[in-house]
C-alpha cells in the first residue's frame, strides 16, 4: 500500500498520540525503565499532541504518514532551536513510526519528506537530536547521510538525565 504524507490535522491528534506512546515503548525498550515505558499513557499524551497541532507557530510543521486510512507515523519540522544555530538551520524535532511499520520503508519516506520540507523552506542545514544509546535510530540517520557534529547534551527522561547527540546534514 502506498504511503501518503500530509500535514497533520486536528482529526489526527489521537492517532499521533497513540503512535508516540507505542513508538517510545518499542524504540526505548532497554534504554529506559520498563516501569516508565509501561506507564506511558495515550490519554495523557493527547493534550501535548493537541497543543503541537493547534498551538504551534506556523514555522513548525507536523507531518503524518498515512497508509490507506491509518496514520502510521509522524514527524515535526521547523527552525532549529539550538542556541548555536544560524537562521538557515532547520530541525527535525521528532519522527516516530508505529512499531508494526518499522522496516517497511514508511519511516524512510516520512524522514525524506521532513528533510525535503526543510530544504524547500530555504534551510541550508538540518539538525536533529537523538538519545546517544538509541543505536537503531542512529543507524537510520547515518544511512540517510547524517552524521554527528560533536554537540551533545542531556535530556531528562524517566527521572534521569540521558545523554543525547546532535546529527547534522547539509541540504
- The cell for 70 is 491509518
Q: What is the pLDDT of residues 108-151, one digit of tens each?
A: 999 999 999 999 999 999 999 999 999 999 999 999 999 999 99
Q: For the domain that residue 91 is a member of, what is the CATH number?
A: 3.40.630.30
**Structural domain for 53, as ranges:** 3-170
Task: Order across the sheet with 160-170: list the strands.
Answer: 3-7, 61-67, 70-79, 89-97, 125-131, 160-170, 147-157
Q: What is the pLDDT of residues 10-62, one digit of tens each?
A: 999 999 999 999 999 999 999 988 999 999 999 999 999 999 999 989 999 99
Number of domains in the chain: 1
Place of cell 537503531: 136
Place of cell 524535532: 93
pTM of the model: 0.94
Distance, in Å, from the CA atom of 121 to the CA atom of 124, rounded to the nearest integer, reads 9
Amino acid at each position: 500500500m502506498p504511503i501518503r504524507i500530509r500535514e497533520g490535522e486536528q482529526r489526527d491528534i489521537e492517532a499521533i498520540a497513540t503512535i508516540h506512546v507505542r513508538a517510545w515503548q518499542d524504540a526505548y525498550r532497554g534504554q529506559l525503565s520498563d516501569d516508565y515505558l509501561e506507564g506511558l499513557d495515550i490519554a495523557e499524551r493527547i493534550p501535548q499532541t493537541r497543543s503541537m497541532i493547534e498551538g504551534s507557530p506556523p514555522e513548525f510543521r507536523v507531518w503524518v504518514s498515512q497508509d490507506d486510512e491509518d496514520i502510521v507515523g509522524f514527524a515535526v519540522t521547523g527552525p532549529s532551536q539550538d542556541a548555536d544555530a544560524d537562521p538557515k538551520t532547520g530541525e527535525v524535532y521528532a519522527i516516530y513510526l508505529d512499531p508494526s511499520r518499522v522496516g517497511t520503508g514508511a519511516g524512510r519516506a516520512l524522514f525524506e519528506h521532513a528533510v525535503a520540507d526543510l530544504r524547500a523552506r530555504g534551510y541550508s542545514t538540518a539538525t536533529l537530536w537523538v538519545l546517544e544509546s538509541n543505536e537503531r535510530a542512529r543507524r537510520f540517520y547515518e544511512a540517510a547521510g547524517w552524521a554527528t557534529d560533536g554537540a551533545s547534551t542531556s535530556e531528562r527522561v524517566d527521572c534521569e538525565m540521558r545523554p543525547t547527540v546532535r546529527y547534522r546534514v547539509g541540504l
